[in-house]
C-alpha cells in the first residue's frame, strides 16, 4: 500500500500546468478534424517540454491511424543547421511515417495536400535487420539497410499563423507528416561504398521547367544522411525489419507554386543517378 500512496502523493505535488502539457483527448480530436479538413489547427503542447510533445505525438498517431494507416517508420526533421537555427532548435526533431501517405514515383496530385503544403528533397532508408540498433557509424548501420529510396516528402506545416512554431510543437504534430513520393529502391551491396556515396552524392531538386530549387551534397544532412537514423536511435527509437527512415531535407522547403506544376529530385552519385518526381496543380 505504501508505494501506491507515495506515487499518488507525488502526482498531487506536480503543478497542474506540468500535467496538462500532453494534449487532451479534446485537443487531439480538434487537431484531427483540422487535419482532415486541411485547415490550420491549434498547436499541440505549446509551452510544454519535449517529453510532453512526444506524449502528444503518440496520442495523435493513434488518432490518425484510421486515416493514415499504421505507422511504418520514422522521420528526422530539422537535420540541417539553418533549419535548426530558424526554429530555435539545438538538434533535429522526430516524427512518424504512415502507410497510406506513400505515393509511387510520378504521382499526380489533383489538389493541395494540406493546410500549408510544402515540398522537400528527402531520402528513405529501408531497414533490413534490427542489428541496426547496435550500429554506431553510417557504415555499420548500412550493413542492416536493404535499400536506399529517393523520396520527395510533401509535408504540411499546418499550424495557424498565430501559433508557436517550436521544436516542441513541431514534434507534437508529428513533424508535419502528410504525403510522400517514393522512388525505386537502390540496393545496398557494399556498406562502406554506400556510406561514401551517400555523403558525396549531389541532390538536386528542380521545378517542372527544369529550374534548380535545391542543390546540395549528401553531407548536408548531419554530415551523412545515415546519421539521421543514428540520431533517432539516441532518442530511443528501436528499428525493426521493414521500417522506413526519412532522413530529412537536403535543402529549404518550398510551397507547391515554386514547382511550376511539379518537382523532380535527382541523386547524382548513387547507382544509376536515380530520379523521383511528382506533379501537382500550379
pLDDT band at 8 (very low <50, low <70, confident <90, very high): very low
pLDDT digits (tens, 9 = 90+) for 141-194: 999 999 999 999 999 999 988 999 999 999 999 999 999 999 999 999 999 999
Closest CA to 119 of 263, 276, 266, 268: 263
Going from the N-terminus, what domains does the chain have, and what CATH number goes with each? 22-279 (3.90.850.10)
Contact 185, 121 (CB under 8 A): no
Q: Measure the CA–CA gap between 22 and 20, rounded to whole angstroms.
A: 6
Write out pLDDT tens, residues 104-114. Answer: 999 999 889 99
CA angle 243, 123, 161 (to 5 degrees): 100
Residue 263 host element (H or E): strand 262-268
pLDDT in tens, 75-97: 999 998 778 887 888 899 999 99
Cα 138 to chain centroid distance, Å, stands at 19
pTM: 0.91
> What average pLDDT does range 209-238 have in this prediction?
97
Amino acid at each position: 500500500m505504501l508505494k501506491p500512496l507515495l506515487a499518488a502523493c507525488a502526482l498531487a505535488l506536480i503543478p497542474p500546468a506540468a500535467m496538462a502539457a500532453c494534449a487532451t483527448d479534446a485537443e487531439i480530436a480538434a487537431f484531427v478534424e483540422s487535419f482532415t479538413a486541411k485547415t490550420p489547427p491549434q498547436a499541440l503542447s505549446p509551452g510544454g517540454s519535449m517529453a510532453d510533445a512526444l506524449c502528444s505525438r503518440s496520442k495523435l498517431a493513434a488518432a490518425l491511424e484510421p486515416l493514415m494507416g499504421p505507422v511504418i517508420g520514422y522521420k528526422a526533421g530539422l537535420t540541417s543547421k539553418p533549419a535548426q537555427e530558424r526554429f530555435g532548435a539545438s538538434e533535429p526533431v522526430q516524427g512518424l511515417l504512415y502507410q497510406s501517405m506513400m505515393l509511387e514515383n510520378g504521382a499526380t496530385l489533383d489538389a493541395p495536400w494540406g493546410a500549408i503544403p510544402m515540398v522537400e528533397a528527402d531520402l528513405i532508408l529501408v531497414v533490413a535487420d534490427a542489428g541496426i540498433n547496435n550500429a554506431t557509424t553510417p557504415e555499420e548501420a548500412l550493413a542492416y539497410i536493404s535499400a536506399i529510396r529517393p523520396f520527395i516528402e510533401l509535408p504540411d506545416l499546418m499550424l495557424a499563423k498565430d501559433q508557436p512554431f517550436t521544436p516542441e510543437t513541431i514534434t507534437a504534430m508529428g513533424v508535419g507528416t502528410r504525403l510522400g513520393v517514393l522512388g525505386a529502391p537502390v540496393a545496398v551491396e557494399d556498406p562502406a561504398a554506400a556510406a561514401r556515396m551517400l555523403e558525396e552524392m549531389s541532390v538536386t531538386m528542380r521545378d517542372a521547367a527544369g529550374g534548380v530549387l535545391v542543390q546540395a551534397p549528401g553531407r548536408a544532412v548531419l554530415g551523412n544522411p545515415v546519421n539521421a537514423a543514428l540520431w533517432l536511435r539516441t532518442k530511443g527509437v528501436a528499428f525493426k525489419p521493414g521500417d522506413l527512415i526519412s532522413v530529412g531535407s537536403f535543402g529549404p522547403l518550398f510551397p507547391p507554386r515554386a514547382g511550376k506544376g511539379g518537382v523532380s529530385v535527382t541523386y547524382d552519385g548513387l547507382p544509376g543517378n536515380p530520379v523521383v518526381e511528382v506533379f501537382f496543380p500550379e
